[in-house]
Amino acid sequence: MSLLNPILGALAFAFVALPIILHFLKRKRKPIQWGAMRFLIEAYRRKRRRMTLEQLLLLLTRCALVLLFALVVGRPIFGSSSKRSGPTELYIVLDDSVASAAREGGSEEAFETLKARAVALIDTLSAESGDRAGLILMSSPSRSIIAPASSDLGAVRRAIERAERTDAAADLHGALGALDQSLTADEDDAPAVTLAILSTLRAGSIDPDRPLPRLASEGRDVRLIVSAAGDTPMSNVAISAIEPVRSVVLGEAERDGQALVRLERSGVNVGEAQRVAVTLATTGTSTTSRAVAEFAPGSTTAEVMLGFVLPAAENAGQPVLTATLPDDANRADNAAGLPIDRRGALRVGIIASRPLVGQVGIDRFTPADWVRLALAPGEASGELRLVDTTPSSIDAPRLATLDAAFLLEPDAVAAESWFLLRRFVEHGGLLVVMPPAKDSVQLWTDAMTESLGLDWQIAREPVSTDEPMRINTESRPPSDRLLAMIAGELDQLAAGVSFEKALPVLPTEADDSALLTLSDGSVLLAAKHPMTPSGRTLPGLVVYLASPPNLAWTDLPTRPLMVPLMQELVRQGIGLASDSAVRTAGRTGELPGRATEVLSEDGEPVELPIRRAGQYRLLDDAGEDAGVLAVHADVRGTRTDVVPTAVLEPWLAASVGDATHLSWLDDEGNASLSSLAEQAGMKRAAVNPWIVWLIAAALVLAILETALARWSARSMEQVHGEEAIA
């Protein structure tokens, strides 16, 4: 049993001393000279035991009456909370995610308030009473700082005070899973568990569409106390992405560039049009660019293109773009960085067998010749350096020096070489595959899709039509970044290109990798990142062109589209294939490229996953500089939409059984275990039959006390009626 009002209850309990004091208190009275003393003594002798019993009974009744009164005032909790009479085991799940960076009052982050509440909760516990406490931080991936619960309450308090907000999203599911593992009742009389979830509980912190796991408490009573959900209307705009138009910048000289900044918004302003100023700055230069992004009414996304200037390579290290927004409800997502991948030149491998004779007429050009010609049209082109190799000589060292590879004779690739190509792709390489210009059945496609982890289905026989096939530019995907630079002229460039034959990718509904299709609907150009068997997307990019530059199959090599298409496949493809140096806080995963270690701006090593947004220095295993890593706040966690209590309550209560085990902390932050208990007992107190029984018992005792008190006076009334004994 516990008390909802322990202070009031204690005061009321103290009043138990009152009847006891009164019982033993002897008032000084003037003695009465009495003649018939012998009869008084005799009567006292006879009645002494009964009088003592009656007085004791009266005293006990009065004490019990006061005790019951104290219980009624103290409002006890019985039943499911019966174990609360013992020590308390309190687990605090503290929301240190980016959602707690919200500023409801505009003064301080919600995280500071949540920490203060957590500390106040710990301060209500008593190690002498056997109370224990644990701490789990909610940001993804959740961390069990102190779990199982420890009796060293000071350590828990210090851990709370040391906790810092992260820029990762909240992971309440993971936190409850961690708690569930800690709730192993290895003692027979394990105390009841109180779980306090301290979070703003806005849309960024929780996902009500995903049911919470039920805590398997092994018979232990788990009571859930939740901080009041934030219900103040707030509006927040976040930078969801920053994408350069050209992923890889070539050359050492100063250059101009453009970057697309994508924004997301949440909160009360979603229904209205909104204009947000975006600023883009580049390290190494003092120039910044500004633009205004406009949200349409009802739209949650907006984007804006901003220009930037990259300084000359000798003036700075790796350049980093930084986009910023004005302050709003959550400032953690108002800045995002992007390291620019700047390279002096690209090494492109042409994997094809060498012709036995020297170059002859244009009608004898092989696909490799056309590709080589498209990639290096002039002698002075120094940005793309071509490396010739043959399918039979594919080896890892050679591939490691390449940024991209054109595989023009995939049918000549040995099985083991496919795995080398797979590793090349996984390390951020771009692999452009074209079928051989052969009319026979082609069996290499299965080996390619299997080894590269692609779910394409490629025809085994070339498809030919009576009428030449054209490029259907109308079905292009809008988000295509590979051909983004020529998208404006693509219609014009593709107009005169015809295809006689092709070995196309069979279109599937689920596949969105098609970039160009032919007039018969078959896929001409597709690009895809390789995937692991478990479905995880890997760096690197595989591009498949269904019709090789062979004049027997297509007139593409002779058309103006050929050069820009090949150039863009390489220049953009390499950028898309490269492992981006941008990570999301809490989801940093593996480091990009060859980096093995991360240092903070202060030069301190940083553990993975990185939870704080910002820019970090990367080092390879030799300790050499490996570039810059930009970590963004997880914008999933910065949504400020208010989740209605009607939705929250059943969703939260499912983790502990039902709503009777759930209570809300008040919004004032006056957190104490007593107020917690009071609030926890609110619902049950309204229907708690024990209170009714206590009041009834108190009434019965009051009647009994009155009867006992009057029992002593009964004789006097009889004597008054008789007036005299004789």
Q: Hey, which residues between 47 and 106 contact other proteins (CB under 8 A)?
A: 47, 51, 54-55
CB of 63 to other proteins, least distance (A): 19
SS (H, E, C) 414-479: CHHHHHHHHHHHHCCCEEEECCCCCCCCCCHHHHHHHHHCCCCCECCCCEEEEEEEEEEHHHCCCC
Q: Are residues 3 and 675 in contact, defined by beta-carbon separation less than 8 angstroms? A: no
The distance from CA 298 to its chain's CA centroid, rounded to whole angstroms, is 25
**Which residue has tokens 């920490």?**
115
Strands 498-502 and 222-226: unpaired
Asked if 41 touches other proteins (CB under 8 A), the answer is yes
- DSSP type of residue 284: T
CB of 723 to other proteins, least distance (A): 7
Identify the residue among 7, 10, 22, 40 touching other proteins (CB under 8 A). Answer: 40
- The CA distance from 582 to 631, in Å, is 6
CB of 719 to other proteins, least distance (A): 5
Q: How many CB atoms lie within 10 A of CB 443?
A: 9
Q: Which is nearer to other proteins, 48 or 423 (CB)?
A: 48
Using CB under 8 A, count the residues that bind other proteins. Answer: 35
The closest of 556, 302, 540 to 421, measured between CA atoms, is 540
Identify the residue among 21, 24, 33, 534 touching other proteins (CB under 8 A). Answer: 33
Give CA torsion, residues 524, 528, 530, 534, to 10 deg.
Answer: -110
Asked if 46 touches other proteins (CB under 8 A), the answer is yes
Q: How many CB atoms lie within 10 A of CB 624?
A: 10
Q: Which is nearer to other proteins, 46 or 364 (CB)?
A: 46
- The CA distance from 192 to 350, in Å, is 69
Q: Hey, which residues between 482 and 521 contact other proteins (CB under 8 A)?
A: none
Asked if 18 touches other proteins (CB under 8 A), the answer is no
Q: Which is nearer to other proteins, 57 or 241 (CB)?
A: 57
Identify the residue among 21, 32, 441, 443 touching other proteins (CB under 8 A). Answer: 32
Q: Is 41 exposed, middle or buried (0-12, 13-18, 19+ CB in 10 A)?
A: exposed
Q: What burial letters (b/e) apply to 156-193, b meaning 16+ CB within 10 Å?
A: bbebbeebebbbbbbbbbbbbbbbbebbeeeeeebbbb
Q: Hey, which residues between 686 and 725 contact other proteins (CB under 8 A)?
A: 712-716, 718-720, 723-725
Q: Which is nearer to other proteins, 510 or 726 (CB)?
A: 726
- Quick one: which segment of 27-35, 228-236, 277-285, 366-374 binds other proteins (CB under 8 A)? 27-35
Identify the residue among 21, 27, 416, 658 touching other proteins (CB under 8 A). Answer: 27
CB of 50 to other proteins, least distance (A): 9
CB of 726 to other proteins, least distance (A): 5
Identify the residue among 22, 43, 292, 696 touching other proteins (CB under 8 A). Answer: 43
Sign of CA dihedral 156, 158, 160, 164: negative
Q: Hey, which residues between 439 and 468 contact other proteins (CB under 8 A)?
A: none
Residue 687: CA atoms inside 13 Å, Cβ hemisphere, count?
A: 4
Q: What burial letters (b/e) apply to 588-617, b meaning 16+ CB within 10 Å?
A: beebbbbbebbeeeeeeebeebbbbbbbbb
Q: Which is nearer to other proteins, 59 or 463 (CB)?
A: 59
CB of 223 to other proteins, least distance (A): 50
Q: Which is nearer to other proteins, 608 or 719 (CB)?
A: 719
Q: Which is nearer to other proteins, 57 or 654 (CB)?
A: 57
Identify the residue among 21, 36, 356, 622 touching other proteins (CB under 8 A). Answer: 36
Q: x/- contact string, 103-132, with other proteins (CB under 8 A)?
A: ------------------------------
Identify the residue among 441, 510, 622, 726 touching other proteins (CB under 8 A). Answer: 726
**Which residue has tokens 């039902």?**
658
The distance from CA 81 to its chain's CA centroid, rounded to whole angstroms, is 33
Q: Which is nearer to other proteins, 36 or 357 (CB)?
A: 36
CA distances from 425 to 84, 365, 530 (A): 59, 28, 8
**What are the residues binding other proteins (CB under 8 A)?**
26-27, 29-44, 46-47, 51, 54-55, 712-716, 718-720, 723-726
